[in-house]
Amino acid sequence: MDEEAKRPVFGNRFLSETDNVFQHNAWDNVEWTKEQETEARKITQGHSCEPLPEDEKDNLLNDASSNWDKFYEKHNNKFFKDRHWLFTEFPELLSITSKSASSVDDTAECSHNDDEGHAPCSNKSDGLHFPGSSKQSCVLEIGCGAGNTIFPLLQVNTSNELFVYGCDYSSTAVDIIKSHRDFDDSRCHVFAHDITSDAKFPFPEQSLDIIVMIFVLSALEFDKMKAAVHRIVQLLKPGGKLLFRDYGRYDMAQLRFKKNRCLSENFYTRGDGTLVYFFTQDEVRDIFTSAGLVENQNIVDRRLQVNRARQLKMYRVWVQAKYVKPL
């Protein structure tokens, strides 16, 4: 695991004079030259020419969740920083409650939508009881890890109408969240769940206003992504949103992989056995639109991070996207 997920708050600092590169720690929206792109392609082609032997691949795929358990046993909740940039990039996480709480009458029929096409239907009216069933606005984080998104979200959005679910296939991660001093089961429900399985979720389909996927889809085998996303999308209310951020193709973390870490094109194992895929924008688009979602945003975020002391330049690449479930 590397530094990418510890990314600081997004900025708006643009590098206009290349000579100034070591004057700051990071630059936003950095343009890549053709040569840089060609070099990156060459490096990654080299990786996939020397993939891991089949039996090692099988072991890594079979042990994927236990390797994440070991990761959390080792790092507990100390590895990822809390994601306060979430609210800059995904203000929807704050606005869902301000909209639905003010506009919803519990007895209203579920066919009524607000002016942004968001269906303000609570789960209250159908008589089912499950964690969060009395709440108006429900968010699920998939691959919630040790809670670095869930806790900031609950801290910043204090609406009584918000309920947050979190799932992760590492039961160690789930236990870390449950034992956190701020964990409050009247506002939050976390559970172990593997999104490549067809196990049931602890709430009905069409219950969620927002699904958050941050650096999680990249942990799956590429061939399993579409089916997983298709299942997840059933959980969204019509008008609900899926917020996505993950590793982009040719990110520094990809280019730095040594030989024999590649399972298949653009899919690697880190030293601790956890797995990571590096996406293009088109792949992300295809995965989510194939599941019936409509694109709101799909951007490549390129950032140049600088180690001023060691005069090192690190080119980071992430894909960020937002998709909506049609009404």
Q: Which residues bind ligand SAM (CB under 6 A)?
A: 5, 68, 80, 143-145, 148, 168-170, 173, 194-196, 214-216, 219-220
Least distance in angstroms from the C-beta of 311 to ligand SAM? 29
Least distance in angstroms from the C-beta of 16 to ligand SAM? 32
Q: Which is nearer to ligand SAM, 61 or 299 (CB)?
A: 61
Q: Over the range 153-184, which residues count as b (16 or more CB within 10 Å of their CB) and which as e?
A: bbeebebebbbbbbbbbbbbbbebbeebeebe
Length of the chain as a residue count: 327
Q: Which is nearer to ligand SAM, 138 or 150 (CB)?
A: 150
The answer to whether residues 162 and 97 touch, using CB atoms and an 8 Å cutoff, is yes
Least distance in angstroms from the C-beta of 137 to ligand SAM? 20
Q: Which is nearer to ligand SAM, 85 or 315 (CB)?
A: 85
Residue 165's beta-bridge partner residues?
140, 189
Q: Which is nearer to ligand SAM, 64 or 121 (CB)?
A: 64
The C-alpha atoms of residue 166 and residue 85 are separated, in whole angstroms, by 19
Beta-strand relationship, 236-247 and 262-264? unpaired
Radius of gyration of the chain (CA): 20
| The residue to which tokens 């998104």 are assigned | 149
Least distance in angstroms from the C-beta of 110 to ligand SAM? 29
Q: Which is nearer to ligand SAM, 197 or 289 (CB)?
A: 197
Least distance in angstroms from the C-beta of 235 to ligand SAM? 14
Residue 208: CA atoms inside 13 Å, Cβ hemisphere, count? Answer: 26
Least distance in angstroms from the C-beta of 233 to ligand SAM? 15
C-alpha torsion 150→73→265→56, nearest 10 = -150
Q: Which is nearer to ligand SAM, 215 or 288 (CB)?
A: 215
